[in-house]
């Protein structure tokens, strides 16, 4: 069976960095365990970094910790260059960035807490929208 291809919205990373409880942290903890392929692009990584570093001083992680986490994600992810922009398809250009990555990567799923912000993505692109909990249940990481 082929591994699922996924794109992870920034809100999942941030939620997982804020707390060690919950599905977002569990999802981040399963990255690199050969259960699925995470896809990333330079624009998405830069957004991850910018938003995560705004948390410094509000969470226990240091800038070095965040750099280490992002470096790990870089090392285990499939890197994608975006050649064709789907903009504007969604209301938020940052969501369009995630959609472009998912389309380019032929992702099966986008993992997000903001499903409503990705209106019609499943209909037009065949990409499923799941929360971290739904995804973890699907891959057998939660019961």
Tens of pLDDT along 56-100? 999 999 999 999 999 999 999 999 998 766 667 777 788 899 999
**Residue 44's closest CA among 52, 56, 55?**
52
Is the pLDDT confidence value at 104 over 90? yes
Tell whether the model's pLDDT for residue 49 goes beyond 80.
Answer: yes
Per domain, the residue ranges of the chain are: 4-138
Q: For residues 96-121, give the mean pLDDT.
A: 94
pTM of the model: 0.93
- Burial label, 44 (beta-carbon count in 10 A; 0-12, 13-18, 19+): buried
Residue 135: both structure tokens together = 């995804």
Provide long-range contacts, Cβ within 8 A and 24+ apart, for 131-139: 131/23, 132/12, 132/15, 132/16, 132/22, 132/23, 132/24, 132/26, 132/27, 133/23, 135/6, 135/23, 135/27, 135/109, 135/111, 136/23, 136/26, 136/27, 136/30, 139/4, 139/30, 139/35, 139/36
The mean pLDDT of 129-143, rounded to a whole number, is 94
* CATH for 4-138, options being 3.10.520.10, 3.30.70.20, 3.40.50.1010, 2.30.30.180: 3.40.50.1010
- What is the predicted pLDDT for the residue at 1? 63
Cα Rg of the chain (Å, integer)? 14
Each residue's pLDDT tens digit, 15-32: 999 999 999 999 999 999
State the pLDDT at residue 25: 97
How much is the average pLDDT of 37-47?
96
The Cα–Cα gap between 15 and 120 comes to 25
Mean pLDDT over all residues of the chain?
93
């Amino acid at each position: 069976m082929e591994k699922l291809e996924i794109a992870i919205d920034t809100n999942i990373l941030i939620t997982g960095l804020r707390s060690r409880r919950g599905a977002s942290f569990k999802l981040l903890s399963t990255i690199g365990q050969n259960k699925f392929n995470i896809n990333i692009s330079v624009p998405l990584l830069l957004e991850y970094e910018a938003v995560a570093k705004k948390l410094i001083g509000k969470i226990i992680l240091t800038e070095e910790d965040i750099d280490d986490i992002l470096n790990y994600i870089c090392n285990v992810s499939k890197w994608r260059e975006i050649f064709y922009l789907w903009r504007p398809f969604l209301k938020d250009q940052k969501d369009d960035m995630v959609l472009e990555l998912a389309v380019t990567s032929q992702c099966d799923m986008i993992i997000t807490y903001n499903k409503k912000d990705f209106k019609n993505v499943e209909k037009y692109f065949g990409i499923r929208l799941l929360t971290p909990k739904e995804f973890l249940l699907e891959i057998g990481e939660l019961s």
